[in-house]
Amino acid sequence: MSITGFLTHGLTGLGAPRKPVCASTDRLRSTAGTRLPPPARARPPLCSYIDTTVKTIASPRSHAVFGTDSNKRSTFSFTTSASRGFSTGLSEVAHSNASHWPASVRIHPTAIVDPKAILGEDVVVGPFCTIGGAVTLGDRCKMGPGAHIFGEARLGDDNIMLGGAIIGSEEAGMTIIGDKNKFGHGALIGVLCQDLKYKGGECFLVLGSGNDIREAVQIHRSSMADLCTVVGNDNLIMGGCHLAHDCVVGSRNIMANNTLLAGHVMVGNSAVLGGAVAVCPFCEIGSYAFLAGGSMVEGDVPAAMRGKGDRVVLQGVNFEGLKRNGYTKEEVTMTQKACNELFKDGVGTGDLQAANTLAERAEKMLRGGEYGEWEDALSGASSPFSGLMPELGRRVVTTPIENRLRSTSSKRLTPAVQLLASVVLSRSNHRSPGPCGWRRSGDARVDDLEMEVTRLKNEVEYLKSNLRDSGLI
């Protein structure tokens, strides 16, 4: 028997011969007829024979198999179901505890599933997966090879975990996942925060439905029992992104690869963050905002605005983003008008006095009624963060947040109103650094470019005038 054959039979322990067969070196002759030296003394086998005794305990739906080797080195157990043709790795013999799982559940023999876990219909658990006892899996969830769910975690229906994805933490608290989410290879969802102020205690994450979370994304739980990390619905979060503790992210956002959100960052709805964007703590990114790749954000970006650069400078209205989200040409033009009026004096990043002046001007413009209905916007009732922020000073109750994420009713506001309201409401966040600088306040490169464009326009008009006077056009 070859070495491969010996290992195959010897390592299984079942049906192996009493005396393992070891490969020996025959006396070989070279092409010149020279005899090779006699073979060395045969080495002991790579593994000793394991005499396995198997006992079977029957139950109405499954039977448990308990084994122990004759050398008393190890014990093992697993539960099988003849009706399913699959076996489930368990930490102990519990042949009757798995009977509450639906018959449609399929579990690979190498997976370890706590019998106290709750599994829905048509759940598929792949090889080498782990599911803890406080886990609830909805219907039709699928776990790829090496995926794990720890701690107290609740997943809705139709979630897919690709190989190596991890959800939850053994720390106190809870991870709540909605329906139809996809988690890429190596994604870490609901793991412990990386905040030095965290000294233990409950921490929470609530994630909505329909999110596409790609490879190696990290989304951390909150850092305190009265805070909660929240991610809404239908977001695309590309590979390598990091969402730190206590972030609140709305719905339909796109975060390109390696986007980094520090703690307590807030992102509205339908925002686009380019690759390698980094956002400082407590900053707010408004709805329909656009940040170019590589931007370093250390201030608030109002709704419907676009920005770029190391220490982001606002560049104007995100025209393309508004058009793609269905706003009319008239609404976009009104947003441009509001932007010009709001930033007519400019503002520098971190200039809190100018930021307060900006907020007062925005509120006055809203109350004038020129840009549309403003009452709900100014009260915060139509804010993208409404209902997603837990009450400070009290332990988080996740049910209102979950209900808000399931709600489909929302009032449609003009982007101009959202722009002005985001500037006003951001001042209620006392730890906010204020809005990012406006491009007319210190960005010499942009100012020089604008001056050059203006000069060229004037020169073109002058040439046209001369041609008209000469009758050539």
Q: Report how far residue 394's alpha carbon sits from residue 145's, in angstroms, rounded to the nearest whole number.
A: 39
Catalytic residue status for 309: no
Nearest alpha carbon to residue 128 among 89, 158, 159: 89
Pick the catalytic residue from 184, 190, 263, 434.
Answer: 263
Could you please report the per-residue DSSP string of 275-304?
TT-EE-TT-EE-TT-EE-TT-EE-SBB-TT
Pick the catalytic residue from 95, 242, 245, 264.
Answer: 245
Q: Report how far residue 250's alpha carbon sits from residue 262's, in angstroms, rounded to the nearest whole number.
A: 16
Runs of H (alpha helix) within 286-388: 319-324, 329-342, 352-367, 375-379
Could you please report the per-residue DSSP string of 162-200?
-TT-EE--SSSEEEEE-SS-EE-TT-EEEEPP--TT--S
Catalytic residue status for 246: yes
Token pair 């210190």: residue: 442
Q: Report how far residue 78's alpha carbon sits from residue 65's, in angstroms, rounded to the nearest whole number.
A: 6
Structure tokens at 78: 């697993």
Could you give the angle at the alpha carbon of 353 between the alpha carbons of 227 and 319, nearest 5°? Answer: 75
Pick the catalytic residue from 158, 179, 246, 300.
Answer: 246
Runs of H (alpha helix) within 201-328: 319-324
Q: Report how far residue 382's alpha carbon sits from residue 387's, in angstroms, rounded to the nearest whole number.
A: 10
Catalytic residue status for 15: no
Catalytic positions, written as ranges: 245-246, 263
